[in-house]
């Protein structure tokens, strides 16, 4: 048999594939599964964006290879959005790059920066792609522990300076997947100072910048003075405009780092279908209030989840961003066992926190990207189950590992 590459062998087991299997098993057993697993907006892409795509798809000029770095018009729309939204000035020619979704950008960025053995600091719990991108590029992921007692924010002084010395870059992600925590400008200033003191590049993932609650407005790291010297921010139309399937995002910030990412991408892909870029321009230029409407929907759903767990005597600090709720697991269960139990006993799929790293143990992640009637049903089922006298003695027969 052919042998797979070491870099593939070194990848952590893909928990989400196992979760999909369990879901299939549960469905086969006749369970009506409600998925609060993956975070993927259930609301449609705004109609004007879809209409623009249709119009541009009919134009043969858009059928040819797009430019590698993205239409200048698209990059200008991103720069204008940054000016409007964050009061950040960007040169669309050198400080903005189009991405086929921000995930590919996060991965390709490291290919251009990381050599064999270089360390990369990754939030734990965090979006699994950071660790995976590090391993695929030959680097070594190190944890930035995010703990409840610190509001899931990094505590820079607690990091081991010997480890920090081995690192070339760090990922940061607020509003945070999976915890829903947010960071303010002061927190970002501390991150930038820490990075500068330790010669670290910051890759800031702002995928959820527009999904915030209770009046909180998420900053861009580029609002921090001097950040552009060391940081690239990744963003996406996926969550902001309900466009996960379209594959359109951007990287903005330090022009040297942007040029490196551009070199990798020029050699790997050939840009975003132009009709999609024109549709993206419509979203960024003409639909700037749309994300606020989406945020209202997610805030209402968040409150439904919080109140269900409040009723169960499990109070949760309301997350100020994202469409996730990070729920502590009742004592006596691992996150894997508790997630498997909920799936098997009540047909509700949630993601065990351990899937986001060692420090995710003790939590499950609930995603609210689901129609409200289904969310209500799922919460009712969880409540009824956790109110049973015997529930703690139940153990799942399905196994998550
Ligand atoms: C969804 C998500 C992304 C965005 O992915 P796209 O590739 O742009 O669809 C990036 N970072 C995090 C943390 C996410 O949850």
pLDDT-derived band at 375, boundaries 50, 70, 90: very high
Residue 39 Cα to ligand 1 middle (Å)? 9
Distance from C-alpha of 278 to C-alpha of 346, rounded to nearest angstrom: 44
Percent of the chain with pLDDT over 90: 89
Ligand 1 atom nearest residue 238's Cα: 9
The alpha carbon of 209 is separated from its chain's Cα centroid by a whole number of angstroms, namely 10
Residue 233's SS3 state is strand
At residue 399, does pLDDT exceed 80?
Answer: no
Ligand 1 atom nearest residue 105's Cα: 7
Residue 242 Cβ < 6 Å to ligand 1: no
Q: What is the mean pLDDT of the chain?
A: 96
Which is higher by pLDDT, 25 or 379? 379
Long-range contacts of 254-260 (CB under 8 A, 24+ apart): 254/95, 254/201, 254/228, 254/229, 254/230, 255/91, 255/94, 255/95, 257/109, 257/113, 257/201, 257/232, 258/94, 258/95, 258/96, 258/97, 258/232, 259/94, 260/109, 260/112, 260/113
What mean pLDDT do residues 84-113 have? 98
Q: What confidence score (pLDDT) does residue 193 get?
A: 98
pLDDT digits (tens, 9 = 90+) for 232-270: 999 999 999 999 999 999 999 999 999 999 999 999 999
pLDDT digits (tens, 9 = 90+) for 263-295: 999 999 999 999 999 999 999 999 999 999 999
Q: DSSP states of 282-308 as a string?
A: HHHHH-TTHHHHHHHHHHHHHHHHHHH
Range with lowest mean pLDDT among 51-65, 159-173, 307-321, 384-398: 384-398
Residue 175 Cβ < 6 Å to ligand 1: no
pLDDT digits (tens, 9 = 90+) for 140-158: 999 999 999 999 999 999 9
pLDDT-derived band at 401, boundaries 50, 70, 90: low
Distance from C-alpha of 125 to C-alpha of 137, rounded to nearest angstrom: 21
Phi, psi of 172 (to 5 degrees): -135, 145
pLDDT digits (tens, 9 = 90+) for 309-321: 999 999 999 999 9
Residue 102 Cβ < 6 Å to ligand 1: yes
pLDDT-derived band at 400, boundaries 50, 70, 90: low
Distance from C-alpha of 11 to C-alpha of 138, rounded to nearest angstrom: 11
Q: What confidence score (pLDDT) does residue 103 get?
A: 97
At residue 1, does pLDDT exceed 90?
Answer: no
Residue 100 Cβ < 6 Å to ligand 1: no
At residue 131, does pLDDT exceed 90?
Answer: yes
**Residue length of the chain:** 401
pLDDT-derived band at 18, boundaries 50, 70, 90: confident
What mean pLDDT do residues 82-95 have? 98
Distance from C-alpha of 57 to C-alpha of 259, rounded to nearest angstrom: 29
To test the pocket of ligand 1, the residue of 239, 244, 322 to mutate (highest count of ligand atoms within 8 Å of its CB) is 239
Percent of the chain with pLDDT over 70: 99
Strand bridging mode 167-173 / 119-124 = parallel
Q: DSSP states of 360-380 as a string?
A: GTTEEEEE--S-HHHHHHHHH
User: Is the entire prediction scored with pTM above 0.75?
Assistant: yes
Ligand 1 atom nearest residue 239's Cα: 1
Q: What confidence score (pLDDT) does residue 398 get?
A: 67
| Ordered structural domains, the chain, with CATH | 6-44+290-388 (3.90.1150.10), 63-286 (3.40.640.10)
How many other β-carbons are positioned within 10 Å of the β-carbon of residue 313?
Answer: 8
At residue 397, does pLDDT exceed 90?
Answer: no
pLDDT-derived band at 6, boundaries 50, 70, 90: confident
Residue 244 Cα to ligand 1 middle (Å)? 8
Written as six digits, the tokens of 154 are: 């990094």
C-alpha dist (Å) from residue 113 to 66, 139, 143, 170, 379: 25, 10, 19, 12, 44
Written as six digits, the tokens of 390 are: 């015997």
Residue 205 Cα to ligand 1 middle (Å)? 8
Q: What confidence score (pLDDT) does residue 22 get?
A: 87
Residue 173 Cβ < 6 Å to ligand 1: yes
Distance from C-alpha of 228 to C-alpha of 239, rounded to nearest angstrom: 24
Give the E-state strand segments of 199-283 in sequence order: 201-205, 231-236, 249-253
Half-sphere exposure of 20 (CA within 13 A, CB side): 5
Please name the residue whose Cα sits nearest to atom 15 of ligand 1.
177
Angle in degrees, 0-180, between the axes of helices 335-346 and 15-28, rounded to the nearest 10: 20
């Amino acid at each position: 048999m052919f042998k797979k590459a070491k870099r593939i062998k070194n990848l952590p087991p893909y928990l989400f594939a196992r979760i999909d299997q369990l879901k299939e098993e549960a469905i086969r057993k006749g369970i009506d599964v409600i998925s609060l697993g993956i975070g993927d907006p259930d609301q449609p892409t705004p109609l004007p964006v879809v209409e623009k795509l249709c119009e541009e798809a009919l134009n043969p000029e858009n059928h040819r290879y797009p430019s590698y770095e993205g239409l200048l018009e698209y990059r200008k729309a991103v720069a204008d959005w940054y000016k409007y939204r964050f009061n950040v000035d960007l040169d669309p020619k050198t400080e903005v790059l189009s991405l086929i979704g921000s995930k590919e950008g996060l991965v390709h960025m490291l290919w251009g920066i990381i050599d064999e053995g270089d360390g990369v600091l990754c939030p734990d719990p965090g979006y699994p792609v950071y660790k995976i991108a590090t391993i695929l590029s030959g680097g070594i992921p190190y944890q930035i522990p995010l703990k409840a007692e610190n509001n899931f924010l990094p505590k820079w002084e607690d990091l081991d300076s010997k480890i920090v010395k081995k690192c070339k870059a760090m990922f940061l992600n607020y509003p945070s997947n999976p915890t829903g925590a947010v960071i303010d400008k002061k927190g970002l200033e501390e991150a930038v100072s820490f990075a500068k003191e330790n010669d670290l590049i910051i890759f800031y993932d702002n995928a959820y910048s527009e999904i915030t609650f209770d009046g909180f407005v998420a900053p861009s790291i580029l609002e921090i003075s001097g950040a552009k010297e060391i940081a690239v921010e990744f963003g996406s139309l996926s969550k902001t405009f309900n466009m996960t399937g379209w594959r359109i995002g951007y990287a903005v910030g330090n022009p040297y780092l942007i040029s490196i990412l551009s070199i990798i991408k020029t050699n790997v892909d050939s840009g975003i279908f132009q009709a999609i870029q024109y549709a993206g321009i419509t979203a960024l230029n003409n639909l700037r209030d749309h994300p606020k409407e989406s945020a209202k929907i997610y805030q209402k759903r968040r409150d439904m989840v919080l109140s269900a767990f409040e009723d169960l005597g499990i109070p949760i600090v309301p997350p100020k961003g994202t469409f996730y709720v990070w729920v502590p697991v009742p004592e006596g269960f691992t996150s894997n066992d508790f997630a498997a139990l909920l799936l098997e006993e009540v047909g509700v799929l949630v993601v065990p926190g351990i899937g986001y790293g060692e420090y995710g143990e003790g939590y499950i992640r609930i995603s609210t990207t689901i129609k409200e009637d289904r969310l209500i049903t799922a919460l009712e089922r969880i409540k009824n189950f956790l109110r049973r006298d015997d529930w703690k003695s139940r153990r799942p027969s399905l196994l998550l590992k």
